[in-house]
Amino acid sequence: MHVVTRFAPSPTGHLHVGNLRTAILNWMWARKAGGRFLLRIDDTDAARSDEAFVAAIRDDLAWLGLAPDGEERQSARLDAYAERFAALAAAGRVYRCYETPEELDLRRKVLLGRGLPPIYDRAALALTDADHARLAAEGRAPHWRFRLDHDAPIVWDDRIRGPQRFDPATMSDPVVRRADGSWLYLLPSVIDDIDMGITDVVRGEDHVSNTAAQVQMFEALGAAPPAFAHAALLTGAEGKLSKRLGSLGVAHFREAGIEPQALVALLARIGTSDPVEPVVDPMALAAAFDFARFGRAPARFDEGELAALNARIVHQLPFEAVAPRLPHGMTAAAWDAVRPNLSTVGDAAAWWQVIAGPVEPPATSDDDRAFLHAAARAAETIDWAGDPWHALTGALKAETGRKGRALFLPLRLALTGQDHGPDMAALLPLIGRDAAVTRLRGAG
């Protein structure tokens, strides 16, 4: 079967890290299977939906490299929902209810007080035509519930959780349409999945009970349900569900200098038995994607792990991939020289300043001052066309007898103003003869 997955965010806010993981998993499974990955904007809540968030969702997916193969918007499909809803009403699978939220809350409390499950008692099914007419005359508009079939258990084989079994008699008939005619999530999503040809739904395990109800909705509409995979939810580094994860979005990661490849590499693998690796090409991650490797334990999202992974990704990025974000004038040779010492691409600016100058001369001891005077003289005479660093240190070792840290550290401090950093054999040719002599004299 041709695999078709979808990512279905609501444009009522920015995507957070949990949403991003769902998008990544659906994209990877579609790419692994050679199928299609679709974006569906769930914007039936007109009051809360915002076009700015629609644009942000598209931008976030583009930044991650998750190009959808098509897009649908629920706000453009209201007629399709009304048509299928009418068919369900005619078949007696949706019914009118009039209880207020306060009345329902009171009933739940009574049931809990009796030690019973707080599910809807289907009292509205006992209403007669006269009752409906009276309530309508009183100006009370109904909301609608989907009537679950209690005759058989709800079962499916989840790609991650394995065989699932729900007793519909222990579930409340879900509300699918509000009194004002607007739609809740469950039924439109099923109708969309049917019409869009969705074959596979990958989402968080917090949707498992929704899936149980939706399985019956697919059947009531004469369609086979897609295959479902419910991934364990993300937790913070402290091992508990973290509210902070709900606020971490693309803007946060971009401001922190995180590369999209790092975020994809981490979110693709946490919660699985596969190691988290600095894979730059997401198609390589997709090729290895396997639901059998997902565990049931919560997936631990650690920003420290992400930062370390990001550094390893940055160390692999070619100059062409980062050139627009580098300081003006920074060359490919300079990027190659400093790249192994970077945590983020933004860190390159500080090392370019070291190369291009000026550099603050460090304080030096009398011994080091004399040594650096000798270094300046040697720098004027060595051959800069080859390997000036080893030529310089070789000449100074022969002249002064210094070696190891006593030889190399004063030179690094004088030439870069730093006691650590990229390989000096790569940096010194970039600094150049004249600047190097000036810095050595200034420090000495």
State residue 357's pLDDT score.
Answer: 92
Q: Tell whether domain 4-72+186-232 is in CATH 3.30.428.10.
A: no
The count of C-alpha atoms lying within 13 angstroms of the C-alpha of 366, restricted to the half-sphere facing its C-beta, is 0
Report the amino acid identity of residue 83.
E
Q: How confident is the model at residue 259 (pLDDT cuts 50, 70, 90)?
A: very high
Looking at the predicted structure, is the pLDDT value of residue 227 above 90? yes
The structural domains of the chain, with segments of one domain joined by +, span 4-72+186-232, 80-177, 243-314, 319-355, 357-443
**What three-state secondary structure class fits 435?**
helix
State residue 12's pLDDT score.
Answer: 94
C-alpha Rg value of the chain to the nearest Å: 32
DSSP string, 129-174: HHHHHHHHHTT-PPEEEE----SS-EEEEETTTEEEEE-GGGSPPP
What are 376-387's pLDDT values in tens digits?
A: 999 999 999 999
Q: Tell whether domain 357-443 is in CATH 3.40.50.10860.
A: no
State residue 240's pLDDT score.
Answer: 60
Cβ–Cβ under 8 Å, residues 28 and 282: yes
Q: How confident is the model at residue 245 (pLDDT cuts 50, 70, 90)?
A: confident
Q: Quick one: tokens of 76?
A: 């453009």
Q: How confident is the model at residue 307 (pLDDT cuts 50, 70, 90)?
A: very high
State residue 242's pLDDT score.
Answer: 64
* Mean pLDDT to the nearest integer, 234-244: 72
- What is the DSSP pairing of strand 154-158 with strand 162-166? antiparallel
Cβ-proximal residues to 56 (8 Å cutoff; 6+ apart), any chain:
14, 15
Q: Quick one: tokens of 313?
A: 């990704």
State residue 149's pLDDT score.
Answer: 97
Q: Quick one: tokens of 153?
A: 């258990």
Tally of CB atoms within 10 A around 287: 11
Residue predicted with more confidence, 247 or 186: 186
Cβ–Cβ under 8 Å, residues 5 and 197: no
Name the residue among 268, 306, 335, 342 with its Cα closest to residue 65. 268
Looking at the predicted structure, is the pLDDT value of residue 113 above 80? yes
- Return d(Cα 227, Cα 242) in angstroms, integer: 29
* Mean pLDDT to the nearest integer, 240-246: 68
Look over the chain and give the mean of its residue pLDDT values, rounded to a whole number: 95
| Domain 243-314 top-level CATH class | mainly alpha
- Return d(Cα 255, Cα 263) in angstroms, integer: 13
- Return d(Cα 94, Cα 191) in angstroms, integer: 15
Assigned architecture for domain 80-177: Alpha-Beta Complex (3.90)
Q: How confident is the model at residue 402 (pLDDT cuts 50, 70, 90)?
A: very high
DSSP assignment letter at 120: -
* Mean pLDDT to the nearest integer, 74-89: 97
Q: In a 10 Å sphere around its CB, with 0-12 CB exposed, 13-18 middle and 19+ buried, how is residue 65 labelled?
A: middle
* Mean pLDDT to the nearest integer, 288-311: 95
Give ∠ CA 267-273-279 in degrees, rounded to 5.
Answer: 45
Q: Quick one: tokens of 73?
A: 């918007």
Backbone angles phi, psi at 146, to 5 degrees: -85, 130
Q: How confident is the model at residue 362 (pLDDT cuts 50, 70, 90)?
A: confident
Looking at the predicted structure, is the pLDDT value of residue 246 above 80? no
Looking at the predicted structure, is the pLDDT value of residue 1 above 70? no
Backbone angles phi, psi at 41, to 5 degrees: -90, 110
Q: How far apart are the first and last CA of the chain?
A: 74
- Return d(Cα 352, Cα 172) in angstroms, integer: 63
State residue 247's pLDDT score.
Answer: 80
- Return d(Cα 59, Cα 82) in angstroms, integer: 31
What are 16-42's pLDDT values in tens digits?
A: 999 999 999 999 999 999 999 999 999
Q: Bridge partners of 300?
A: 235
Looking at the predicted structure, is the pLDDT value of residue 272 above 80? yes
* Mean pLDDT to the nearest integer, 100-107: 93
State residue 236's pLDDT score.
Answer: 87
Cβ-proximal residues to 114 (8 Å cutoff; 6+ apart), any chain:
none
Looking at the predicted structure, is the pLDDT value of residue 137 above 90? yes
**What three-state secondary structure class fits 179?**
coil
243 is in an annotated binding site: yes
DSSP string, 355-403: HHS--PPPP--HHHHHHHHHHHHHHHHS-TTS-HHHHHHHHHHHHH---
Tracing tokens 């074959």 back to the chain, one arrives at 199
* Mean pLDDT to the nearest integer, 57-65: 97
Cβ–Cβ under 8 Å, residues 175 and 184: yes
State residue 444's pLDDT score.
Answer: 66
* Mean pLDDT to the nearest integer, 67-78: 97
